[in-house]
């Protein structure tokens, strides 16, 4: 056998290998088998590192709106605590009735068990009506704040529980997901490479009757049973899904990518909308190292409510904004620095024991506190 012939064989095998890996491999399992294994694999997920993005556009006559959301999330329940670390960036623009507005929000939220923390690093908008909000938020920017458990709604706390009753409901919901026919494979793209993983790539069509069946039974399991009309309303989103694709791991059957596009229209007001949601997983069942943020301050929402009502942030005794004041402390404005129109928050927005001091509002504001605080 000549060296030239051997060289040709090597080249031929190299080209074949390249083509097979570039164009995808022939699926070795049926779509139904892969989907069943994918649904079952969800029961084995105790930690996930993933991202979600959403891009939306809307139009009504001459008005336009668009926004984009990007979130990076780490969640785990590897121990008795439920932990999460989520960073959210939201930006958008609105062009309506001849007015153009845009804004951005950047916030990170960490939960360790039933303890909640947040760090707001950006909140800005060109809407002049939000100036009071931006000013009130200024003392809390780019700091870790610990939200007092007294202000966390009970239904949110319940999500963090890992008690036997919660575990039982979660297992029932997972079993329901596995047993319910929620979608069919409408197109096979073959096996592809995605971030180093071999994945089955499918086009998916939702089964509306199956979705309604799941919503109905899931509401019973969660203790919030829905009426038939409520189930019908909740399942209307199925009609809006125009494209849905899944990339499922060929080795572990985890979902590594999902893309869905939802569209809508209303002929009465010539309105259209479209939103594309993309899910991308980085890893599953790895220790994500979610910990309590260091140096967090106690955050009392009543302080923020007072700041919003007074049109400024946390207030120092002199009546001027105090950026050095710890956001977690509740500061009561002295009577002689209260603006004539300021009122305490209604009793439904704060615990009875933290009510504002008796009305000592003066009818005349001192000259040295008349200036508006700098933004």
**How far is Cα of residue 204 from the mean position of the Cα atoms in its chain?**
24
Work out whether strand 241-249 and strand 99-112 pair parallel, antiparallel, or are unpaired.
Answer: unpaired
Strand residues in 97-152 grouped as ranges (E): 99-112, 115-125, 145-147
The phi, psi pair for 62, rounded to 5°, reads -100, 0
- Decide if 262 contacts 240 (C-beta within 8 A): yes
Neighbours of 295 (CB within 10 A): 6
Neighbours of 136 (CB within 10 A): 22
**How far is Cα of residue 33 from the mean position of the Cα atoms in its chain?**
31
- The pLDDT value recorded for residue 26 is 47
> Which of the residues in the chain have pLDDT under 50?
1-26, 313-375
Residues 6+ apart with CB under 8 A from 128: none
- Decide if 238 contacts 206 (C-beta within 8 A): yes
- The pLDDT value recorded for residue 319 is 38
The DSSP secondary-structure symbol of 25 reads: B
Neighbours of 208 (CB within 10 A): 16
- Decide if 52 contacts 278 (C-beta within 8 A): yes
Comparing CA positions, the residue from 278, 215, 280 lying closest to residue 254 is 280
- The pLDDT value recorded for residue 351 is 42
Torsion angle in degrees (nearest 10) through CA of 350, 354, 360, 365? -70
- In the chain, where are the structural domains located? 31-113+160-284
- The pLDDT value recorded for residue 326 is 40
Q: Determine the Cα–Cα distance for residues 188 and 193; give it in Å rounded to an integer.
A: 15
One of 2.50.20, 1.25.40, 1.10.150, 1.10.3210 is the CATH number of 31-113+160-284, namely: 2.50.20
- Decide if 278 contacts 61 (C-beta within 8 A): no
16 by DSSP, 3-state: which? helix
30 by DSSP, 3-state: which? coil
Write out pLDDT tens, residues 263-289.
988 877 888 999 999 999 999 999 899
The DSSP secondary-structure symbol of 315 reads: B
Tokens of 360: 């000592």
Q: Determine the Cα–Cα distance for residues 102 and 292; give it in Å rounded to an integer.
A: 33
- Decide if 373 contacts 355 (C-beta within 8 A): no
- Decide if 110 contacts 293 (C-beta within 8 A): yes
Strand residues in the chain grouped as ranges (E): 47-60, 63-76, 83-96, 99-112, 115-125, 145-147, 183-194, 197-206, 241-249, 255-266, 271-284, 297-299
């Amino acid at each position: 056998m000549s060296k030239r012939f051997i060289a040709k064989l090597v080249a031929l095998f190299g080209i074949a290998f390249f083509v097979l890996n570039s164009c995808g491999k022939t699926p070795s399992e049926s779509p139904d088998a892969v989907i069943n294994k994918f649904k079952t694999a969800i029961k084995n997920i105790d930690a996930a590192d993933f991202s979600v993005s959403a891009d939306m556009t809307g139009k009504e006559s001459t008005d336009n709106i668009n926004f984009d959301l990007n979130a990076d999330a780490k969640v785990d329940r590897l121990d008795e605590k439920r932990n999460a670390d989520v960073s959210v960036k939201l930006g958008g623009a609105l062009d309506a009735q001849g007015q153009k507005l845009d804004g951005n929000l950047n916030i990170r939220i960490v939960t360790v068990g039933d303890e909640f923390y947040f760090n707001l690093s950006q909140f800005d908008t060109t809407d002049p009506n939000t100036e009071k909000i931006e000013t009130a938020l200024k003392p809390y920017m780019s700091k870790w704040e610990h939200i007092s458990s007294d202000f966390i709604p009970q239904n949110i706390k319940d999500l963090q529980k890992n008690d036997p009753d919660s575990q039982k409901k979660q297992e029932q919901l997972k079993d329901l997901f596995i047993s319910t026919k929620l979608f069919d494979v409408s197109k096979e793209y073959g096996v592809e490479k995605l971030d180093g993983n071999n994945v089955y790539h499918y086009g998916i069509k939702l089964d509306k009757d199956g979705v309604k069946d799941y919503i109905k039974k899931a509401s019973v399991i969660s203790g919030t049973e829905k009426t038939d009309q409520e189930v019908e309303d909740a399942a209307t989103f199925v009609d809006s899904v125009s494209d849905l694709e899944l990339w499922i791991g060929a080795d572990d059957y985890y979902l590594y990518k999902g893309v869905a596009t939802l569209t809508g229209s209303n002929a009465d007001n010539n309105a259209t909308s479209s939103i594309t949601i993309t899910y991308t997983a980085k890893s599953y069942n790895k220790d994500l190292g979610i910990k309590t943020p260091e140096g967090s301050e106690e955050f009392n929402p009543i302080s923020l409510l007072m700041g919003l009502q007074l049109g400024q942030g946390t207030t120092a005794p002199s009546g001027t904004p105090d950026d050095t004041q710890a956001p977690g402390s509740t500061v009561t404005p002295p009577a002689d620095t209260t603006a004539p129109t300021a009122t305490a928050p209604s009793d439904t927005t704060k615990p009875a024991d933290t009510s504002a001091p008796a009305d000592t509002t003066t009818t005349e504001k001192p000259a040295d506190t008349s200036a508006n605080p700098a933004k």
